[in-house]
Structure formats: structure tokens, C-alpha cells
Amino acid sequence: MNISFTKKAIVTLIVGVIIVMMLLSGGYVYTVSPKFNERTNAENQLKTEKQMLQLLEERSFDDEEEVEEETTYLQRKLPVEPLVDQLLLDFQRVEALSNTYILSIDIDQNRDAVFIETEEGDENTGEAAEDSASLKQITVNFSVRANSYEELFQFLSEIDRLPRIIGIDSISFIGTDERVMIDDETDILEFLVTVSAYYYPHLPQLKDELPKVIHPAPRERENPLYNH
């Protein structure tokens, strides 16, 4: 491994992470409720990534293992391949932790990343949007069932906690009159959620350091419908 060459690739990957975080923290993606419009976490992550970049530029990697650990950590946030299998496993964990039920999943991948600028966007996020041309976007549409709004909020919160950088694009509910009634006493909420994950395919030399996908034991019920 050419450590000097790989260090440059790591810097490029960190820049990609920073660009995505700038766009998310700049109000491009979060268009849900005010609860999910708070950008504190994203802004804190952005500061952290900038600090990482500064430290990295000041360091020299002499240890191949150290380089691999650095790239693997970064690729948990912004991988160089889609890693759709890992996304599906993450969403299964989100489902379990929020006590919701994913009825269906539709995934659209290999698209160029698209960020819609809001009036709140500043010059920095505008420049970041121009620099995002190398990013690819994976759009995921969920149909989800929950027993309460608390479970819905938990579902979205768990997505926000995932290591992968994911933006919540939209959420829509079935109307009150159309709620699915399981019995006379329980209202079951159904809602549609669209999220976006990203990857940076222009650093193929980092594929060997991709995070390993660990598949759990098969679940008792079938996986949600997955359409390419």
C-alpha cells in the first residue's frame, strides 16, 4: 500500500463527509417537523469532521494498520460503495428499537446526489452543493406502521443516530379517516418516509477498507419487500 497516496484519498473522503454534513446542517434535507429541523447534532458533527481534517493534514501516517482503521471509520459515514446490505441491516435495527413495522422498502441507487437549497442556505452551503457532484445518492422510501406518534418519532430518531450519514427528506401520513384499524380499541398509524444516504465512488483504492457487513441470524418473519 502506498501510504502517502492513501493519505490523500483519506483527505478526499473527509472532504466528502464535510460537504454532506454542510448540506445537511444548512437546511437542505431536513424538511420534516420542527422537531427534526434542529441542526445541532449535524453542526456538531461538521465541526468534528473539520477538526479531523485539520489533524490529518498535520499528521503523517507511517503505519499501514493506522491508515486502514482511519479509512474504515470514515467509510462508516461515507463509504466508497453503496453498501445497501448494510443499510438494510441498519434499518432492521431501527425497526426493532422503535417497535415499528416496516411494511415495504423501495431503494433507488446510483443517482447523482441532489440537494435542494432553501432560503436559509448561505454561501458556504452553496459552494458545498457545487462540490457535491462526485457524490452518489441512495434514496430509500419506507412504508411503516406504528402504534403511536412516539414510535414514529423514535423511528426517525434511530435513523438519525445511525453511523451512516443519512438525511430525512420527507414524511407523510395516511389521513385520519384512512387509518388502519386493527381492532376497535387501537389506532395503527401508517406513514411514508423518504431518506437519502450517500457514497463516494471515486476512491476505488479504498474498497479494501470498507466496513465489513455482519449478517445476523435470520429473523422469524420475512424481510420487508425490497425493490431495486
Query: Can you list the domains of the chain with their CATH numbers?
Result: 3-227 (3.30.70.60)
Q: Is the pLDDT of residue 160 over 70?
A: yes
SS3 209: helix
Cβ proximity of 67 and 119 under 8 Å: no
Residue 31 confidence class, pLDDT cut points 50, 70, 90? very low
Beta-sheet pairing, 136-146 with 180-181: unpaired
Q: What is the pLDDT of residue 139?
A: 93
Cβ proximity of 97 and 91 under 8 Å: no
Cβ proximity of 30 and 171 under 8 Å: no
Averaged over 155-165, what is the pLDDT? Answer: 91
Mean pLDDT score across all residues of the chain: 71
DSSP per position, 37-99: ---HHHHHHHHHHHHHHHHHHH-----HHHHHHHHHHHHTTS-SS--HHHHHHHHHHHHHHHT
The residues facing 99 across adjacent strands are none
Q: What is the pLDDT of residue 178?
A: 47
Residue 221 confidence class, pLDDT cut points 50, 70, 90? very low
Beta-sheet pairing, 166-173 with 136-146: unpaired
Q: What is the pLDDT of residue 6?
A: 61
Give the residue with greater pLDDT, 19 vs 88.
88
Q: What is the pLDDT of residue 209?
A: 83
Averaged over 213-227, what is the pLDDT? Answer: 57
Task: Give CA–CA dist 10/7, Å, rounded.
Answer: 5
Q: Is the pLDDT of residue 124 over 60?
A: no
Tens digits of residue pLDDT in 60-115? 555 666 777 777 888 888 888 999 999 999 999 999 999 999 999 999 987 776 65
The residues facing 171 across adjacent strands are 193
